[in-house]
A = this chain, B = another copy of it.
Amino acid sequence: MNVLIVFAHPEPKSLNGSLKDFMVQRLEKSGHNVQVSDLYAMQWKATLDADDNTEKQEGIRFDPAEDSKQAFYNGTQSADIAHEQEKLRWADAVILQFPLWWFSMPAILKGWIERVYAYGFAYGVGEHSDKHWGDRYGEGNLAGKRAMLVVTTGGWESHYSERGINGPINDILFPIQHGILFYPGFDVLPPYVIYRTSRVDETVFAKARDELGARLNSLWSTKPIPFRHQNKGDYEIPALTLRADFAPGKSGLAIHEYDA
């Protein structure tokens, strides 16, 4: 199988760097093909702007979605964007690996999403009618592929627990796991999170390596997070609210899973 690791940490000799090296080794040893987009090493351009279209029209009001659409369909996307889309097409599984900075992904990775996720590629896909609100949330060009987050954070596991002050980790990651990965079609595996990074010594690192190795071994068999599909009848269209007979009376993020 083909695995793409999108890696967003500035220091190769960091915990994140070591984990990334371990993942590459382990996956290759298991016979998989691996590509790494090491965003800092690539000096990835983080900021989406009019230069992302090589046929930038001077003096025209820049509309990010419209411009992305034109560039995608006319083949005038900047080369770095098209190249990353090729990697996504090639991949059977994608791992986004990053330190949790201010409760989200680092800006350089957010900018990778914004620029690579073109209109026509990751959104604006499929029929848009009163019965089918685009191919998204379970459908889309990345359907059939798997995705997983590998995240480190300085905070303790309890700080991200059900009643922890930072918010439950699954809620904090919902905009990424549901909004960025499930949206264009990925099956999203539960994240692998390492907490309290300042206390990671050799013993803790060995344990993390074992756990992460097990997650990589089961990359093709782990049950994805059971997010509800948008267009299979669970949601009213076009309101896109969960039908009253599903998870009746409940609200919040967890209702968007089938077993809510």
**Could you tell me the distance in whole angstroms from the C-beta of A168 to the nearest C-beta in chain B?**
7
B residues near A106, Cβ cutoff 8 Å: 48, 110, 114
**Is A1 on the interface with B (CB-CB < 8 A)?**
no
The interface residues of chain B lying within 8 Å CB-to-CB of A107 are: 46-48, 107-108, 110-111, 114
Q: How far is the CA of A10 from the CA of B61 in the complex (A)?
A: 10
A184 CB to nearest chain B CB (Å)? 10
Give chain B residues whose Cβ lies under 8 Å from the Cβ of A108: 46-47, 107, 111
Give CA–CA (A165, B40) in the complex, Å.
33
- Nearest neighbor of A160 in chain B, beta-carbon distance: B240
**A30 interface residue, CB < 8 Å from B?**
no
**Known contacts A46-B107, A64-B10, A172-B175; is-contact A240 B117 (Cβ 8 Å):** no
Binds B, one of A96-104, A141-149, A207-215: A96-104
Is the CB of A241 closer than 8 A to any CB of chain B?
Answer: yes
The oligomer's copy count stands at 2
Contact with B along A220-260 (1 / 0, CB 8 A): 00000000001000010011111000000011111110000
Residues of chain B with a CB closer than 8 A to A180's CB: 102-103
Contact A46 B10 (CB under 8 A): no
**Residues A137 and B156 in contact, CB atoms below 8 Å apart:** no
Within 8 A of B (CB), among A86-138: 99, 101-104, 106-108, 110-111, 113-114, 117, 137
Q: Which residues of A contact B (CB under 8 A)?
A: 10-11, 13-14, 40, 44, 46-50, 61-65, 99, 101-104, 106-108, 110-111, 113-114, 117, 137, 154, 156, 158-159, 161-168, 171-172, 174-176, 178-180, 230, 235, 238-242, 250-256
11 A-B interface contacts by CB (under 8 A): A46-B46, A46-B111, A101-B114, A102-B110, A102-B117, A106-B110, A137-B165, A161-B241, A166-B179, A166-B240, A167-B178
